[in-house]
């Protein structure tokens, strides 16, 4: 992913969104390396959420209109499935901005390079609403609500950012010469 400044509608979640809510276990038979199955996996992203949340993906669609997810604490807790960040990326999510991430989810995001996992300085899930348009600036690490131009500071990803931007650990290793490139 090479987008450094992204404008998108946000989808707001609370604390402890687990991997079963992100992608229920019944869809783990989909193989993300097969293009059609990757798209299908994306179409099921966040389908495990309680019905109190609005649909993340419109009926008969495979992509979401929400390119950025804003969440509370411990996003991605639960099992260690790599399918969780892959499903979000396949659905069109470019970044998840949360108070904190479950450690294994954060590592899986870096390994897959599907999206940017960015921690917020404030509890943004209480300050933003689903459908609101924001601008995410990955150079300045700021999230701006375009409705009222409120700017929120985000925590820098440091050395993880170029790994994610390259498309994950293996792509980064190939790009930097750590391992041979595909022939």
pLDDT, one tens digit per residue, over 52-93 is: 999 999 988 889 999 999 999 999 999 888 999 999 999 999
Could you give the residue ranges of the DSSP H alpha helices within the chain?
Answer: 19-22, 35-43, 83-90, 103-112, 160-166, 169-175
Structural domain includes residue 183: no
| Token pair listed for 62 | 């495979």
> What local confidence, expressed as pLDDT, does residue 182 receive?
73
Lowest-pLDDT choice from 2-11, 38-47, 137-146, 158-167: 2-11
- Per residue in 95-107, pLDDT (tens digit) is 999 999 999 999 9
CATH number at 87 reads 3.20.19.10
Q: Does the predicted model carry a pTM greater than 0.85?
A: yes
pLDDT digits (tens, 9 = 90+) for 162-180: 999 999 999 999 999 898 8
**Is 181 a member of any domain?**
no
Q: Which domain holds residue 144?
A: 5-175
Number of separate domains in the chain: 1
φ, ψ (nearest 5 deg) of residue 151: -110, 130
Name the CA radius of gyration of the chain, rounded: 16
**Is residue 127 one of the residues assigned to a domain?**
yes
Residue 111 belongs to a domain:
yes
CA distances from 128 to 35, 70, 87, 150 (A): 34, 8, 23, 10
């Amino acid at each position: 992913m090479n987008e450094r400044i992204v404008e998108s509608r946000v989808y707001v979640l609370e604390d402890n969104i687990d991997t079963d809510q992100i992608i229920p276990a019944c869809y783990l038979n989909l193989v993300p390396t097969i293009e059609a199955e990757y798209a299908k996996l994306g179409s099921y992203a966040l389908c495990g959420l309680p019905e109190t949340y609005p649909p993340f993906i419109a009926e008969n669609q495979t992509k979401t209109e929400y390119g950025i997810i804003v969440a509370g604490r411990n996003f991605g807790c639960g099992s260690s499935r790599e399918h969780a960040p892959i499903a979000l990326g396949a659905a069109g999510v470019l970044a998840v901005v949360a108070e904190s991430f479950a450690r294994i989810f954060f590592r899986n995001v870096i390994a897959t390079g599907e999206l940017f996992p960015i921690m917020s300085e404030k509890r943004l899930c209480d300050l933003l609403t689903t459908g609101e348009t924001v601008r995410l600036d990955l150079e300045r690490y700021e999230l701006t609500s375009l409705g009222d131009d409120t700017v929120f500071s985000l925590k820098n990803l440091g050395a993880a950012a170029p790994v994610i931007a390259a498309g994950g650990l293996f792509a980064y290793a190939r790009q930097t010469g750590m391992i041979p490139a595909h022939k």
